[in-house]
Every structure is written in C-alpha cells, then in structure tokens.
Structure 1
Amino acid sequence: MVTNERLGLIAGNGRFPFLLLDAARAHGLTVIVAAIKEETDLAINARAAADPNVRVHWMSLGELSRLIETFHAEGVSRAVMAGQVKHKQIFSSIRPDWRLAKLLLNLRTRSTDMLLGAVAKVLSDEGIELISSTQFLEPLLAKPGVLTRRPPDEQEQKDIVYGRTIARAIAGYDLGQTVVVAAQACVAIEAMEGTDATIERAGSLFRTLDIEDAVREHSTETTTLRRSLTVVKVAKPNQDMRFDVPVVGVPTIQTMQRAGATCLALEAGRTLMFDPAAIVTAADQAGIAIVAE
C-alpha cells in the first residue's frame, strides 16, 4: 500500500512507539516522529536512518509550540501518542514553553486525562487531529478468555473480582489502572510510579512479611494472608483510546515473577499486549495465569 499521507508520532518510552511506527509504515504512511528527549529510546534514530519515510525530530517534553511547528512544517494533520510519558515529569525541572505553561495554569487538576486531553485540544485547534493509539495495533488488544495453560484458581478468581472493583474505582478518579491483591486484601495501588513499580512494591511488602515470619518461625502465630499476589489491570471507565491505554509486556511478567505474583487479570479489548505470544509463553514458564474479561 502506498500513500502520501504523513502521520505524526509523539513518542514516549518503551516499545510502544516502535510497534506503532512499524504498523504505520506497513500501511504505507510516512511517519514524522516527535521524539521526547526525556523519554524516547535513542534507537529511534537507527530506525529512521534505515527508512527514508521516517523522520525524527527531537524536542523536550516542555516544547509544545515546537511540536506544533514541526508538525505544521512536515504537513502533518493526524497524529498519535505512543509510549509512556512518566506523570511525575510534570513535577520535574523541565521548563514548559509559553504555550504549555498557559495550558498547565488553566488545568483544574493535573491528572493524566486532564493534561493529555488539554494537549489534544490544543493540537486540534491547530488543525492536528489526535487519533486512537490502537488504530494500527488492534491485533495486539487482549482477547477475552483464559490466555495461558493454567486458569486462575479459586482464590485467584476471588482476588480478581475484588481487585476489579477496586481498580475500576481508582481508575475512575484517574489515579492509576492497576491494583495488586492477596486474599481479597489490597496490597498496592498504582499512582504515578507505573504498573511495574506497583508490582515491585507489593512484592517488597511481602518479602518484609516473610522476614518477619522467619524471625518468629518457632512462634505459634500464623499468617492470614496467602503468600501469592494477583495483579489486576483495567481501563478507565471512560477510557480515551487516544492516550494512556493500558499496556502489558514480557517485562510485566518478569516483574510479577520476581514479586511472587501468580495471576494477571486484564480488560479484554482495551489492553494492549506487546507480543502476546511471548507474554503467554513467559507466563506459562513462570506458572502465572492470565485472564482477560
């Protein structure tokens, strides 16, 4: 397929920008990458060097005006966001330009939805339509059902039901999209740190409990918590598929294994799985159950 259309790609960190770039090129689109200095993998330069229909422009996270000027100069009328931009960056030493500073001052809150929605509105006012980040990656959306050889056991299923109730509640407040549960007790809730850090925090807590148990190994006391964790990840109630789409990858499974998590529950049709076959293989090897509903 050959087309002269140019797609703007606002690239955050991780593999997501590369997957979207390859998918857009497979559709014959020329891709203009706005690479964020604080986030984007430098490997994007090699990808552009190997393909004359990919051009990369590096800019700071605070340079909203430069982003718009770059897209205008490149003839971009549609753009997509792909890859995480750490929410904590809004509290960093990055200096916003006048356009971004004005946008931040006018926000009621600095939640992800509020911030990215405002950026999308600015782009729209400038004739640049922000489209869904899943438009080119629908085959990677989680399919409904049990995805691994092992289904969740009875206790894990109870944790999933409880975890989804909690996860959807916090997602409704645009706080995070992941909770970690054990024995129907909430061990960790995602905030700005991201999914993997949330899982690691839950694992650290349980390692602390293991140490305490070892100290009193001759005690008659028993623990009320099962020593396995269930990770529940959901989309927001009114998920805007243009940005902040739930994502999991093989590193998620690796982090779960280190933390002692045995089950992963996803939202079917609204969670991207980067390399689904590799994720399932890694989970099967680790004895981790994955289910999407």
Structure 2
Amino acid sequence: MSRMTQEVENRKIGIIAGGGQFPLLFVEAARKAGRQVVVIAHKGETDKRVTEAADEVYWVKLGQLGRVISLFKKSGVAETVFLGTITKTRIFRDVFPDLKGLTLWNKIDRKQDDAILRAIADTLEREGIKVLESTLYLSHLLFPAGVLTKNKPSKKQIKDIEFGWKNAREIGRLDIGQCVVVRDCSVMAVEAIEGTDEAILRGGRLAKENAVVVKVRKPGQDFRFDLPATGVRTLESLRRVHGSVLAVEAGQSLLFDREKMIEEADKSGIVVVGVVEQEDGKLIM
C-alpha cells in the first residue's frame, strides 16, 4: 500500500449508527475535521438524514456483525464509533444475526447493554478496527454542571435528588439502567429495558405530580458507547406527567438541543440541573 493510499484510508472513520440525532451530529463534526465518514446504518433505527450526510452508507439488519466487519474492511475503515440508540426490546424480536453475530451472541452470558457492546467492540478490535470514544469531536455536548434553568431545586427536591442518586448508582452497578424516578424519597420507577422516557412516564404517573428524575452514568462507564443522553424528548416526557426536576450527572452524559430544552423547562417550571459527585460522595449542584 502506497503512503498516499494509506493516508486516504486513515482519513476514513466508521459509524455504527442507531437512531436519534447523535450520528448526524457526529457525521457533520467529523467531516469538518477532514474525515471521510462511512456509516453502517440499521434498518428501522437510523435516520435517513445520517445516510444523506455521509460519504459511504451501508444498511444492515440488527445482528449482522460479520457483514459490518466485511464492509468496514472493504472500505478501508480502521476506526469506528458506536452512536445512537437501538430499541432494546428489538433484541427479542428483530435480530437477524449472521454466523459471526450468532456465534458471539451465544458466547455472551449476560444479555445486558455493557456485556453486549463490549463483546462487539472486542470482536471489532480483534479484526483490526479500533473502537473510539463516542464523544470524539463532540465533547461540547457533555452535560454541564450547575443549575441550567431559572428555577433552582428546593431543599425537598435536593433531598429527593440525593436519594435518587444512590438508587440510580446501584441499578447502574447492576447494569439494569441509568435512571430512577422518585418522589418524597420513594422510588416510583426504575429504568430497565424500556428506556428513560418510558420510565419517566411510568414513574411520573405513579407519583401523580412533582416527580424527580435522576440520571447517572454507570460505574466504570465506557465512553465508547451507551452514554446517557437527555434532550427535548426527555423534558417532554417529564412535562407530560407534571414532573418537577431533571437531575443529570454532569460531564458523564450527553445533552442535545440545550437551548430549546431549557426554554421548554422554564416554561413548564421544571428544574434542570447538572450534578457533580465529589470523591467523598457529596453532591454539588
């Protein structure tokens, strides 16, 4: 391989894309950085706008790991990122694994997010395709610290945040989810496979009103994939159940459409706060 050919290929970066706007934002940022972008898009998940912005696009079905590897190698991709969401309940009904995907699936003891994604990443890296952090080029999207809205949390709400934080940490440690819904220091809902928005709606209805949503990273969170994310849709779910607070771990999750989200929160009187946990366990808001 000539030096010029190698330099052209090194400019390429792959995206294994799920749903949502994160893949599109990454494509735009990567191209501004001078990278050519090769997208592996998932049928039924990836936004078509992502494919329109990319340099190369290949559609696959969920579970076609061997095809992903083959396509990347054919395109000269040696680096990739995992971006966007995959509807978790699809793993029980819409997976069409090829031989490599099926072989890997049968080797995974725990069919949970981290175990699945780490196994896929390990397989890609053994094939010479390095998996990079999903925040590459987009670190400005990390959730900021402090109160982002006009309203600040009350003493009662701070108490609920602290209570919810401990519970959210624990379900994260068990790789169940990253979010809890609480009221008056009682757990209304724990996020599981249904995802954050559904957990908010379920817990918010039980709380009746004033639900406090706490979302944190998992212990040992791998920035290569599955970072917590919030945005306008999250805020809308909380507004629908007359919730009062969205507390998110700062610097460890993504925030989309910040200005619009905060504007909507202020209209609804919802508190949005980025929380930092110190080494001694104390929370700073």
Distance in 1 separating the partners of 2:87 and 2:227: 14
Are 1:236 and 2:242 matched, yes or no? no
Distance in 2 separating the partners of 1:165 and 1:100: 36
User: CA-to-partner distance for each residue in 1:38-73, whole Å, 9 max, x for gaps?
Assistant: 31122334334xxxxx21111111211110011001
Partner-residue secondary structure (3-state), 2:272: strand
Q: Which consecutive residues of structure 2, in runs of 5 or more, have no partner in the other structure?
A: 1-7, 276-285
TM-score, length-scaled by structure 1: 0.88
Could you say which structure has the greater relative contact order, defined with CA pairs below 8 angstroms and 6 or more residues apart?
Answer: 1
Amino acid at match of 1:243: F
The aligned counterpart of 2:61 is 60
Q: Please state how far the C-alpha of 1:93 moved relative to its aligned partner.
A: 3.7
Distance in 2 separating the partners of 1:101 and 1:228: 45
1:3–1:29 Cα contact (<8 Å) kept = no
1:254 to 236, 255, 268: 236
The aligned counterpart of 1:40 is 46
Structure 1 window deviating more from structure 2 (283-292 vs 2-11): it is 2-11
The aligned counterpart of 2:205 is 204
Distance in 1 separating the partners of 2:248 and 2:95: 34
Partner-residue secondary structure (3-state), 2:244: strand
How many residue pairs get aligned? The number is: 268
Distance in 2 separating the partners of 1:74 and 1:199: 41
Distance in 2 separating the partners of 1:119 and 1:45: 22
The aligned counterpart of 2:104 is 103
The aligned counterpart of 2:91 is 90
TM-score, length-scaled by structure 2: 0.91
Q: Which has the larger radius of gyration?
A: 1
2:214–2:247 Cα contact (<8 Å) kept = yes
Q: Percent identity?
A: 41
Q: Please state how far the C-alpha of 1:134 moved relative to its aligned partner.
A: 0.9
The aligned counterpart of 2:281 is none
2:27–2:50 Cα contact (<8 Å) kept = no
Are 1:77 and 2:59 matched, yes or no? no
Distance in 2 separating the partners of 1:3 and 1:250: 37
Q: Please state how far the C-alpha of 1:279 moved relative to its aligned partner.
A: 1.8
The aligned counterpart of 1:291 is 273
1:140–1:275 Cα contact (<8 Å) kept = no
Q: Please state how far the C-alpha of 1:204 moved relative to its aligned partner.
A: 2.8
Which residues in structure 2 correspond to 1:1-293 (within 5 Å)? 5-48=11-54, 54-207=55-208, 227-293=209-275
